A and B are shown apart, each in its own frame.
Chain A
Amino acid sequence: MSDIGLYALRFALAAALVGIAAGVAAGVARRADWTRVAERAVWLVLAFVSLSMFSLFWALANHDYQLVYVAAHSATTMPLHYRLAALWGGQAGSLLLWLWMLCAYSAGAIWASRRSNRTLVPWVVVMLMANATFFLVLTNFVTSPFEKVPPGQVLSDGTGLNPLLQHPVMMIHPLMLYTGFVGFAVPFSFAFAALVTGELGTTWFRTTRRWTLFAWAVLGVAILLGGRWAYEVLGWGGYWAWDPVENASFMPWLVATAYIHSVMIQEKRDMLKIWNLVLIGMTYGLCLFGTFLTRSGIVQSVHAFAQTDWFGKIFLAYLLCVVALFFGALLYRRRELRSTNRLESVVSREASFLLNNWIFLAILVVVFTGTLFPVATEWVTGEKIVVGPKFFNTMAGPLALFLLLLVGVGPLIAWRRASFASIRRQFVWPASAGVACAALLGAILWGDVGFWPLTCWSLCAFVIATIVQEYAQAIAARVSRRGESVVRAFATLLRRNQRRYGGYIVHLGIVFVLIGVAGASFNQERLENIQPGESMVIEPYRLEYLTADAIPEQHYGGARARIALYRGETGLTTMTPEKRVYWLEQQPASIPAIYSTLQEDVYVILTNIEHDGSATLKVYRNPLVNWLWIGGGVFILGSLAVMWPHPSRESQTG
């Protein structure tokens, strides 16, 4: 079975090369028959790579320990779903997953354009298959998932998957992350095709609008899920540490968000043509860069990266080639990309969108600088200097708040030029809501929390008020004019003008996330060692340590503490933080217990059961964390509303 996978990858490589050749031929000669060959090559590559994926799944499911990959990432005792998820538990497998995603996207994009964009398609195929070729070369010749253990050394069991990855979230998080990363290949390839053919109108981004939104939304959710996993599994009390790996996924999302906004200006006002191409080029470049960063070990973080040196080098070479090709084409077409319109007023929606773009890029610069600071300082001074979370928070925090302000302001300002009267009319009550919130929170909390979280929550109140006002005005108009019910009017708005009103829901999700993030500024923590029957206090909670018992599981053992949680005299729940040891992997893991409410989380880590039976507990009180996950849910709903297929979508206005 595994040989089938191996050879399928060889054939896929051949088919991808045929696709590139046919695509170039079709593009240069403008011949429809060659275009069809190129398209069929894409389907063929997808078929072969799918076969290869299936073959690896098969090997994992059936314990084929002849394969190095299977032996190193799974074990007989692991349940089936984790054995299958081990496909993206290691280097070679996750490259195969990336490749498969790329092929699936390629085929999907080709299929969606089967009756349109005939001049673009050959070059789209060329770009997509060039990317696929690189990953095919990697999986064929550099880190093959089908590499075999030398005969005679085949063991009867594997060494298992890193226990930290044996978590439900970890089954889908990498999958979603890659779905996001790779998805940007589609708009990137269409943009490239537009540059090569000189068809620089709105086609390339209109065609790929949904693809871009999909990739962007999935990446956003994946980032949040990564945070959730860190929070529930890693047991350090937080969800985001500005680690290089996290930053690697955050950077493309930042640029993609800027792109999604600025492309609307191009659509409405035919401006920023070059800018949008630059942004989509950067987005895909950063997706590749993120993969490079996490796979090459260039940034010494606390992670182990068992990589060969030259893996990083060829990946970097590939990344530079792709980016150079794209920006070379952009440079070549720069004269044809002049805007016909100019910014008419700084008080206009265009201007606010433009400002939003600048801030997104400024945040990108901060994250990029911070991530690569150790590398840069080592080059320049010979010494590594590492920047911590405080750098990122201090630098990116105020920028994010300014962005939050724009989330409220942008949609209320008219296109082209806003009048003073309209601004006053639109802003009176949202601004008062913001001020009222600031005054109220300031009166209650001043002294406990500082300037930044208060500002954040006030701005959140302002933005929520603008969103409510937008909906209320539009719904009221429909109700009075057409006699629709409120619910019906709401549904109609979402359907008729999904981008605008769906966009507001996405904004609302982001606002909820930021409400939660600001809560982190008054986290509390306690570390105590207590005997059974004793309590520790983290106001207003009291945690009573009842007993500890052994964990009766098959794959892991260790201790579990039982802790009664009280608020005042009321018993709330029994919490059971665990200190596990995974037998096979000989790896300990602290699994926290979390008591979660809308207001705050009580987060308990069992640091150790000491020899005298006492428990050493680390307890955090983390306010508002739940709002992150709620915000994530709202974000998904909003994204769905924006993307939902709609028959008359071409006629709507944003």
Chain B
Amino acid sequence: MSKGAQIAVGATAVAVLLAWYGATNLEPGSTYQYYQTLDEFLAAGPGERGDSLRVHGYVADGSIERDVGGKQVFFAVQNDPPHAAVAPSGSLRVVYLGLETPDLFADGAEVVIEGRLDGEGDRAVFIAHNVLAKCPSKFEAQAPEAAEL
């Protein structure tokens, strides 16, 4: 067997092993998630994406409400920044199960919410187990993990 063939066989074997290991050990939801903007998410309709999603949007002005006793935070997200020229399209109510929102979480902040949708139509609520907030555009990319929760 030539050296090239040996390497090819070796590489294939390693790749197959890794793929097999990955396929048997990785479950959807906890390890990978769909990433959508709010409009995409609302257009896709409820229930289509299982129970682990990442949705991107902006916190609606004046919507944040902290429930300290119940250890949760209520807010609403919309697809576009609150001050953008476009009129806000659909918004979505969110319950975050926790109180430790990121530092940059505020009215108008760009956020990514992780979790699942509960209920239908007007009563739909997104139950988030994680909220990530982006730096406002004023700052450049230099804070690598700056917005990590």
Contacts and interface: CB of A to CB of B under 8 A. Distances in A.
Contact of A306 (B101, B106, B133, B141): B141
Contacts of B25: 394-395
A354 to B, nearest CB: 10
A174 B142 CA distance: 9
B145 interface: yes
Nearest to A610: B68
Name which of B18, B98, B145 has the most chain A CB atoms within 10 A of its CB.
B145
Contacts of B71: 527, 529
A162 B71 CA distance: 30
B32 A91 contact: no
A161 B99 CA distance: 28
Interface stretch (A24-32, A35-43, A358-366): A358-366
Interface stretch (B33-41, B75-83, B87-95, B116-124): B33-41
Contacts of A607: 99-101
B85 to A, nearest CB: 19
Interface in A592-615: 605, 607-608, 610, 614
A589 B146 CA distance: 10
B138 A608 contact: no
B149 A165 contact: no
A390 B143 contact: no
Given A91-B140, A234-B148, A607-B99, A388 B35 contact: no
B31 A391 contact: yes
A590 B149 CA distance: 11
B141 to A, nearest CB: 4
B26 to A, nearest CB: 6
Contacts of B45: none
B33 A162 contact: no
Contact of B68 (A294, A304, A589, A614): A614
A383 B31 contact: no
A261 interface: no
Interface stretch (A120-128, A235-243, A463-471, A497-505): A235-243
Contacts of A610: 66, 68
A230 interface: yes
A241 B145 contact: yes
A362 B18 contact: yes
Given A391-B26, A391-B32, A165 B143 contact: yes
Given A230-B148, A589-B103, A300 B142 contact: no
Contact of B142 (A91, A236, A398): A91
A302 B30 CA distance: 18
B22 A395 contact: yes
Given A162-B146, A388-B32, A614-B68, A398 B100 contact: no
A245 B140 contact: no
Nearest to A177: B144
A366 B18 contact: yes
B145 A243 contact: yes
A387 interface: yes
A240 to B, nearest CB: 9
B71 to A, nearest CB: 6
A388 B34 contact: no
A442 B98 CA distance: 34
Interface string A117-138: 0000000000000000000000
Name which of A162, A365, A366, A527 has the most chain B CB atoms within 10 A of its CB.
A162
B69 interface: yes
Given A386-B54, A527-B98, A300 B145 contact: no
Name which of B106, B136, B148 has the most chain A CB atoms within 10 A of its CB.
B148
Given A302-B147, A390-B31, A589-B103, 17 more contacts: A90-B140, A230-B145, A235-B103, A297-B141, A304-B141, A306-B140, A307-B141, A358-B14, A373-B32, A374-B35, A387-B31, A391-B32, A394-B26, A395-B18, A585-B139, A588-B104, A590-B103
Interface of A: 72, 88-91, 94, 159, 162, 164-165, 174, 226, 230, 234-236, 241, 243, 245-246, 294-295, 297, 300, 302-307, 358, 362, 365-366, 373-374, 383-388, 390-391, 394-395, 398, 527, 529, 585, 587-590, 605, 607-608, 610, 614, 616, 618
13 contacts: A90-B142, A162-B135, A162-B139, A234-B146, A246-B145, A303-B135, A306-B141, A358-B14, A383-B35, A388-B30, A395-B25, A587-B136, A616-B99
